Structure 1
Amino acid sequence: MTEWDIKKLHILRTLDARGTVTATAHALLMTPSAVSQQLSNLAKQVGVPLLEAHGRRVRLTAAARLLLRHADAVFAQLERADAELAAYAQGEAGEVRVGAFSTAVPALVVPAVRALRAAHPGVRVRVREAEAGEAYELLASGEVDLALSLAARAPRAPREASGRGRDGRFTRVTLCADPLDVALPAEHPLASAPGVSLAELAGEAWIFGGSGPWSEITLAACEAAGFVPEPAHSAAGWGAILAMVEAGMGVALVPRLAAGAGAMRPPGVVMRDLGAGRPRRHVVAAVRRGAEGAPALARVLGALREATPPPG
């Protein structure tokens, strides 16, 4: 029977996620030669080639992908073991490290932490703000225990893209469908109209987000309404975006969580609901598969569910 080495399997999974030996080495704090040596040793142990040349890079063989499907199950079972041991040793006490995108911190994480302090004081939460896509990288590397992200930013493993099923490293829970409203200058003709649809704004100049997935979300929402928006400006912060809207430089989609979390709306900006056809972004919580049974982590997930606003 093969003597399995968990560390080598972890390196193979990381290569699958990161795509190159160099990126894998950087993520695992190893040298590229050490990564290559460990994977070569793993191939010798299992008796089949795991990597093949692909231009200047390497790619995983079919045998490596078969091995990864089993590795996903192994790592999920190890996460369950950690969860059960934590329950045995600590009960509901423990620390949970949460990685969350900027608007989720004040809108979801802070209310959840307040509730946990009152109901479960033994559960400690440590927060790290991260871009929606980066949160999954932190989760995969073990730097956080729970990632708050957007469904549109869920990572796609190569085997998922090739039809071999979903990325098996994570368990995802949808927390809410966050409605997107449109920010208009106060003097805009539609600012006081009885109703506003996204299609009516097809000819407007649009202000896009300068970081994270916001530009992609704006583009997808407008395309679903039947037009391609003109990207007139971009900015990373809601304060800058809304200031440009107030100045009449364009219009912008704003997630309701951002407004509820204290995004300061200038007096010259009107927020309009886009009605029944309003676009939404889906906020998800993700954990490493198998870890969801850990008592402290389960409490944090429950508190986040309670903190989500009702459907808008």
Structure 2
Amino acid sequence: MLDVRKLRLLRELAHRGTIAAVAEALSYTPSAVSQQLSALEREAGTALLERTGRRVGLTAAGRALAARTETVLAALAEAEAELAAARTGLTGTLRIGAFPTAVRTVLSPALVALSSAHPGLELRVSELDPAVVPDALRADAIDVALVQEYDFTASPDDPALETEPLLEETIHLAALSAGPPRAHRDAPWIAATPGTLCHTMTVRACEAEGFTPRVRHHADDFGAVLALVAAGQGVALVPDLGLLDPPAGIVLTPLAARRRTRIAYRRGTAAHPLVAAARSALHSADGPGAFTL
């Protein structure tokens, strides 16, 4: 019989591309990953890996088995969820990942509700950029997270994860004068750290207007971004949740672009009591009166 733990390593190799990346994500040594995958080949009775020098890829059989592993792991997660639901009381550790603006607005009231309803629950929050959330979920580093996508940065589907919509926001151009992005094409721009979704959104939104922004400053906290705008250091794109307390003098021009936040969790875990409680609390926090923009 095929070992589920080894199958998971094969799935992660198909996703991450290298044994070193799999080892780092799952806290193994590269040699241990290699040994386990070799053992899986022996169990399968067919070649699953293609080795070219130091590079390792998957054979057709390996790719097919990795794809089927998604269904196997999801079924096991659903079975674990059913067992957990049979227990009395909600206890244990719930690990939540969220981006900064969501921590201050949506997540904080959700945490209060969870602590009040389930005093035996231990809550752990990690501030994560949405770009790294999928891998954190796959690696079982967190249980549930908030991810986002912009009109210009649609996220690819990940077969290991499930998501559901939470909220949608308008994106605004923050400047010292009104006008769409193209009216500020020659101004210095303020954007998030390269590699983050917010940075990609800024660049692509400007490119859609026919120019490439001249980014002078990088800041990931929207409070810092707005302070730089108020100081005359440039213009920036900011979603609703980043505008809780804008400095005086800033002109906000709403754009047609939107940011959408979704709740994400591993496939098969939606009904797990911990994940279900988090989903319910997050949806309640997004309800009327939960926060004010």
What's the TM-score, normalizing by structure 2? 0.87
Q: CA deviation at 1:229?
A: 2.2
Change (3 A) 1:271 1:55: farther
1:250 counterpart SS class: coil
Q: Contact (CA 8 Å) 2:169, 2:239: kept in 1 or not?
A: yes
Instruction: Work out the CA distance in 2 between the residues paired with 1:4 and 1:300.
Output: 33
Aligned residue-pair number: 286
Aligned pairs (5 A) from 1:165-244: 166-185=157-176, 188=177, 190=178, 196-210=179-193, 212-244=196-228
> What is the aligned-residue RMSD (CA, Å)?
2.4
SS in 2 for 1:48: coil
Q: Which amino acid in the other structure matches residue 30 of structure 1? A: Y
Q: State how far apart, in whole Å, the 1-side matches of 2:25 and 2:117 are.
A: 37
**3-state SS of the aligned residue for 2:270?**
helix
1:226 Cα offset (Å)? 3.8
Name the structure 1 match of 2:279.
301
Residues of 1 paired with 2:182 and 2:144: CA distance? Answer: 37
Question: Among 268, 281, 285, which residue is 1:290 paired with?
Answer: 268
- Where 1:151 maps in the other structure, the secondary structure is strand
Paired residue for 2:40?
42
1:245 and 2:229 matched:
yes
Tell me the SS of whatever aligns to 2:168: strand
Deviation readout 1:166-195 (Å, 9 max, x if unpaired): 43211111212222111112xx3x2xxxxx
Structure 2, unaligned runs of 5 or more: none
Counterpart code for 1:98:
I
Check if 1:257 corresponds to 2:241: yes
Structure 1 counterpart of 2:165, one-letter code: T
Q: Distance in 2 between matches of 1:54 and 1:233?
A: 43
The residue type equivalent to 1:221 in the other structure is: A
After TM superposition, the structure 1 stretch with the greater mean CA deviation from structure 2, 106-115 or 26-35, is 26-35
CA distance in 2, matches of 1:208, 1:65: 39
Looking at structure 2, the residues matched to 230 and 259 of structure 1 have their Cα atoms a distance apart, in angstroms, of 23
2:147 to 149, 155, 176: 149
The alpha carbon displacement at 1:232 in A equals: 2.9
Could you tell me whether the CA contact under 8 Å between 1:184 and 1:251 is conserved in 2? yes
* Residue in 2 that maps onto 1:53: 51
Alpha-carbon offset, residue 121 of structure 1: 4.4
User: CA 1:81–1:304 in 2, change beyond 3 Å: closer, same or farther?
Assistant: same
Identity of aligned residues (%): 41
